[in-house]
Amino acid sequence: MDRYTVVSADCHAGADLLDYRPYLERKHHEAFDAWAAGYVNPYEDLLADTADRNWNSERRLRELEADGIVAEVVFPNTIPPFFPKASLMAQPPTAAEYELRWAGLQAHNRWLADFCAAAPGRRAGVAQILLNDVDAAVAEIRRAREAGLTGGILLPGVPPGSPVPDLYSEAYDPIWAVCAELGLPVNHHGGSASPPLGDEPAARAVFMVETTWFSHRALWHLVFGGAFRRHPGLKLVLTEQGSGWIPGVLDMLDYYHGRLVSAVTKASTAESKFGAGLAEAMGKGPSAVWRDNCFVGASFMRPHEVPLRDRIGLDKIMWGSDYPHDEGTTPYSREGLRIAYAGLPKEEVAAMVGGNAARVYGFDLPYLDSLAAVHGPAVEEIAEPLKEVPAGATSPAFAPGGSVRVW
């Protein structure tokens, strides 16, 4: 092994706004034309000269290869039809919004299938669904997989006050069942479950503090809700939410699980009612569920998180570059890998930067190895500690601070 096969488990793409039109059902074309005519894009990066990195397949391949990356898991980024902002962080639609929002996400899924087909074997596209109509979501999951989307589904966030059931609800069992049947991961991306906040400086700061916590909630909702007992083949991937939090949260979940299950045997206590039926509904405890069913898309893993890799699970960690976002590591992904993984055994590095993602998302690893032989970073290069952060680096992977080591 002279070079690492790097698979980014966290990249983003989407069509330019008007290019979604051919992917919409014809009955929605008139409504789309009216919506698009008055839409003002709120995102500077989607108006810049670099915006085409979201949809320009050839440019994207060139830039990823130059960055040492040979394959990617593709989450959404641009504005799908009938959405006011990016769908990744959108609130669940109301009943009045549902029909057009659902048509817009289906259009994105059709576009994404074509985008992935333009680079066979190198893109695992993540299909988008809504939770308002479970039967429609199940049908779309099957259709998207038949169309070639192998990245699983993007699980929408369910913030407090949403018009749909909480994620622990058995109402979603048909979604978990079809994903387990087809071997598709259920992905929950950072930022996708935060409740709406204002634009005041304090609101923006509160969002930064709370957004990953709201994203983490999917883990304990599905664990305590028994989704993994009823569907033991289900895979959950938590992406771009950090990874250092996982051991402590698992300890906390194990504590509450043990405490509540034990309380049931003490009927005279006020707490006994909280644990009633929990053991039977859940099956395994939280740490066992994590071990058997869960993974982390640890985008630009930070140095202070790396010593926790054994507690997180070496077979669970999947590095990501977050291309094409400004906070991503491109074009300094090699340096990002060095600042995190220099000095580690090469077998461990190989698993975290590509091998785990290839297994979870069904990439053909021997094929990717052949591409990495040309484009992948050299093992000896990543083994060299980073002595100086590149001047143009904007990723938090390089952020200074007491918990971040820079050699």
Strands 317-320 and 294-299: parallel
For residue 404, the model assigns a pLDDT of: 35
Tens of pLDDT, residues 315-345: 999 999 999 999 999 999 999 999 999 999 9
Say if CB 66 and CB 374 are below 8 A apart: no
360 in a structural domain? yes
141 pLDDT band (50/70/90 cuts)? very high
Q: Does 96 score more than 70 pLDDT? A: yes
Residue 74: beta bridge partners? 11, 125
For residue 401, the model assigns a pLDDT of: 53
29 in a structural domain? yes
What is the domain extent for residue 335? Answer: 6-398
Q: Largest alpha-carbon pair distance within the chain?
A: 68
Identify the CA nearest to 330 among candidates 79, 4, 65.
65
Give, in order, the Cα–Cα distances in Å from 190 to each of 68, 154, 197, 214: 24, 11, 16, 8
CATH number, domain containing residue 358: 3.20.20.140
- The tally of domains found in the chain comes to 1
Tens of pLDDT, residues 337-394: 999 999 999 999 999 999 999 999 999 999 999 999 999 999 999 999 999 999 999 9
Q: What is the mean pLDDT of residues 33-48?
A: 94
Tens of pLDDT, residues 169-215: 999 999 999 999 999 999 999 998 999 888 899 999 999 999 999 99
Q: What is the mean pLDDT of residues 78-107?
A: 96
Residue appearing with tokens 């906070």:
327
Helix locations, 264-285, DSSP H: 272-275, 278-282
Say if CB 375 and CB 333 are below 8 A apart: no
406 in a structural domain? no
272: left (phi over 0), alpha (psi -120 to 50) or beta: alpha
Q: What is the mean pLDDT of residues 141-169?
A: 96
For residue 403, the model assigns a pLDDT of: 39
For residue 402, the model assigns a pLDDT of: 37
Angle among Cα 83, 88, 92 to the nearest 5 degrees reads 65
For residue 11, the model assigns a pLDDT of: 98
- With residue 357 as reference, give the H or E element that holds it: helix 356-361
Q: CA 162, CA 176: separation in Å to the nearest integer?
A: 20
35 in a structural domain? yes
1 in a structural domain? no
Q: Does 14 score more than 70 pLDDT? A: yes
404 in a structural domain? no
Mean pLDDT of the chain: 95
Q: Which pTM does this prediction carry?
A: 0.95
407 in a structural domain? no
Q: What is the mean pLDDT of residues 241-260?
A: 96
323 in a structural domain? yes
